[in-house]
Amino acid sequence: MSLYLYNTLTRKKEPFTPLHPPYVGMYVCGPTVYGDPHLGHARAAITFDVLFRYLRYLGYQVRYVRNITDVGHLEGDADEGEDKILKKARLEKVEPIEIAQRYTALYHKAMDALNVLRPSVEPTATGHIAQQIAMIERILQNGYAYEVNGSVYLDVEKYRQDYPYGILSGRNIEELIAGSRELEGQAEKKHPWDFALWKRAEPTHLMQWDSPWGRGFPGWHIECSAMSIHYLGVPFDIHGGGLDLIFPHHEAEIAQAHACFGPEAHHQARFWIHNNLVTIEGQKMSKSLGNFITIEEIFTGRHPKLSRGYPPMALRFLFLQAHYRSTVDFSEEALSAAYKGYLRLMTAFERLKEVRPHTYSSFSVSAWRERVFTALHDDLNTAAALAAFFEQTEDILRLRRQEIFLTPEDLSLLQKTWQEVLIDILGLIPLTQVEWHRWKIAIELLIRLRREARAAKNYSLADLLRDELQNMGVRLLDFPDETLWEMHE
Ligand SMILES: [Zn+2]
């Protein structure tokens, strides 16, 4: 069974094999650190965290590079507008590096809470100016770029004579021409669809470096080509990011790699993988629509669309319940349902530890396990994998009640699969790590008191205790000899 991944470049699912096994090089576009981390950041980070964890589980040695963009990301796609970090620094009257460091720290804090593993390398654009300049020089030498007034642009027309531009996004040059506007500062480009590799800085510009073309700063696209190739070589195995980065960002990266290294660059990466976006109640998430939700607001509940805060695992589970190439429509209802689903699986996981083995098995664990891994191998279908776990929660209750049975080997295979898939690969945090023990002691004490009240025919007290437990989100499962329970929100 081999892992199939959907490659945006070829528009089909392809079996994944690394270029240099057992090593895998993966680069994912990280955040531009000028604002609070939001739902879009969480989705991209969780998508590639699962891929990172799964590749490691499959035995690969993965070098995962995810960058921090701390310069050069302008407000507009066509090299226009202010640098996002500089603008924030100006508004808050602080140095750009203070903005970058503050929002990098907040990003790390949010991702740690969501149990997203840190990448192997996390390079910053400002820390790799030399590599970017070297790449631009080589592109100039190869004749695919031109310098005007201290800025350098990639010559898309020249590039198109040798390579197809638009191969990743499927856009053709006619659409690009129709879509490009005449903007301020565009006049120095030969064609509006040429893009900046290096921009000349005004003397007042706060972030600028020496270059062969005078003082300036790099374009956003060249950062990712330079950092990925510096750490992973070219071509490397996997380049990832959100769907919104396909054009122009990733298309530009591919052009830069060919323009610098020639056809041997092979589209910079073998697999181009893109996660879909998050919508809010059917609408695009944007600051101007007032439906922008940060990760911190999910945790605290301080947002007009939320009635309360939710733990990080609710959000992680919400994304895992969808295929990464489908949109996720966010609403409090969906988040709350995801939290219930997480609690249900995690209580079943705890109950599974209490099951005792038997001399025969009532069902085939290996067939079920194969179904789970078939789903994961099919382009990381976490939604189908989770469905298989949900279907098994009833069986776990019956195993615990000794109505059905498993041999010691089957039981340990079942426990192992729950641990490997839910905890190690999907990155869910088990209840035992979230104050679970204290909860468990209190809940089981209340259940014991209720059973004693019923035995003493004190039904009003028994009902009161049942209602209180219900309010705590605990659903009781009464059997003649014992009462089991599960978290139900
Ligand atoms: Zn990037």
What pLDDT, in 10s, does the model give residues 29-48? 999 999 999 999 999 999 99
The CATH number of domain 279-432 is 2.60.40: no
SS3 sequence, the chain? CCCEEEECCCCEEEECCCCECCEEEEEECCCECCCCCEHHHHHHHHHHHHHHHHHHHCCCEEEEEECEECCCCECCCCCCCCEHHHHHHHHHCCCHHHHHHHHHHHHHHHHHHCCCCCCCECCECHHHHHHHHHHHHHHHHCCCEEEECCEEEECHHHHHHHCCCCCCCCCCHHHHHHHCCCCCCCCCCCCCCCEEEEEECCCCCCCCECCCCCCEEECHHHHHHHHHHHHHCCCEEEEEEEHHHHHHHHHHHHHHHHHHHCHHHCCCEEEEEEECCEEECCEECCHHHCCCCEHHHHHHCCCCCCCCCCCHHHHHHHHHCCCCCCCEEECHHHHHHHHHHHHHHHHHHHHHCCCCCCCCCCCCHHHHHHHHHHHHHECCCHHHHHHHHHHHHHHHHHHHCCCCCCCHHHHHHHHHHHHHHHHHHCCCCCHHHCCHHHHHHHHHHHHHHHHHHHHCCCHHHHHHHHHHHHHCCEEEEECCCCEEEEECC
Q: What's the mean pLDDT in 431-456? A: 86
Which tokens hold the place of 333?
A: 């209802």
Domain positions in the chain are: 4-145+158-180+223-275, 279-432, 435-487
**269, 227 Cβ separation under 8 angstroms:** no
The confidence band for 489, taking pLDDT boundaries of 50, 70 and 90, is low
Using the mean position of ligand 1's atoms as its centre, give its distance from the Cα of residue 255 in Å: 13
Does position 257 have pLDDT exceeding 90, yes or no? yes
Percent above pLDDT 70 for the chain = 96
Which residues, including other chains, have CB under 8 Å from residue 403's CB and lie 6 or more apart? none
Query: What is the spatial distance between Cα 192 and Cα 177, in angstroms, rounded to a whole number?
Result: 8
* Distance (Å, whole) CA 163 – CA 166: 9
pLDDT band with cut points at 50, 70 and 90 for residue 19:
very high
271 C-alpha to ligand 1 centroid (Å): 15
Write out pLDDT tens, residues 196-249.
999 999 888 889 999 999 999 999 999 999 999 999 999 999 999 999 999 999
Q: How far is the CA of 334 from the centre of ligand 1 (A)?
A: 30
CA proximity to 43, closest of 110, 122, 143, 119: 110
The rounded Å distance from CA 242 to ligand 1 centre is: 10
Q: Is the pLDDT of residue 421 over 70?
A: yes
Strands 328-330 and 278-280: parallel
The yes-or-no verdict on residue 73 having pLDDT over 90 is: no
- Residues with a beta carbon under 5 angstroms from ion ligand 1: 29, 224
Ligand 1 centroid, distance to 45 Cα (angstroms): 13
Confidence at residue 81, expressed as pLDDT on a 0 to 100 scale: 80
pTM of the complete model beyond 0.75: yes
pLDDT value of residue 439? 79
- Closest Cα partner for 57 from 342, 480, 417? 417
User: What pLDDT is recorded for position 435?
Assistant: 66
φ and ψ of 486, to 5 deg: -145, 155
What fold characterizes domain 4-145+158-180+223-275?
Answer: Rossmann fold (3.40.50)
Band of pLDDT at residue 82, cut at 50, 70 and 90: confident
Alpha carbon of 195 to ligand 1 centroid (Å): 15
How much distance in Å is there from the Cα of 138 to the middle of ligand 1? 20
Specify the pLDDT at position 290: 75
Q: What is the mean pLDDT of the chain?
A: 93
Task: Give me ligand 1 centre to Cα 69, in Å.
Answer: 8
pLDDT value of residue 367: 97
Of 423, 370, 413, 380, residue with least CA distance to 47: 380
For the cut 80, the answer to whether the pLDDT of residue 434 exceeds it is no
Name the CA radius of gyration of the chain, rounded.
27
Question: Omega of the bond prior to 22 within 30 degrees of 0, cis?
Answer: yes
Give the Cα separation of 233 and 227 in Å (integer).
10
CA of 478 to the centre of ligand 1 (A): 55
Please, which pLDDT band fits residue 72 given cuts at 50, 70 and 90? confident
Ligand 1 centroid–CA 6 distance in Å is: 19
The Å distance, Cα 30 to ligand 1 centre, comes to 7
Q: Separation of 68 CA from ligand 1 center, angstroms? A: 9
The confidence band for 327, taking pLDDT boundaries of 50, 70 and 90, is very high
- Tell how far the Cα of 59 is from the centroid of ligand 1, in angstroms: 27
How does strand 278-280 pair with strand 269-275?
Answer: unpaired
The alpha carbon of 58 and the centre of ligand 1 are apart by a number of angstroms equal to: 27
Query: What pLDDT shows up at residue 186?
Result: 65
| Identical fold, 4-145+158-180+223-275 and 279-432 | no
Mean pLDDT of the 262-268 span: 97
Residue 474 has pLDDT above 70, yes or no: yes
Summarised one tens digit per residue, pLDDT across range 121-148 is 999 999 999 999 999 999 999 999 999 9
The alpha carbon of 250 and the centre of ligand 1 are apart by a number of angstroms equal to 7
Q: Check residue 177 and give its pLDDT.
A: 63
Count CB neighbours of 217 within 10 A: 23
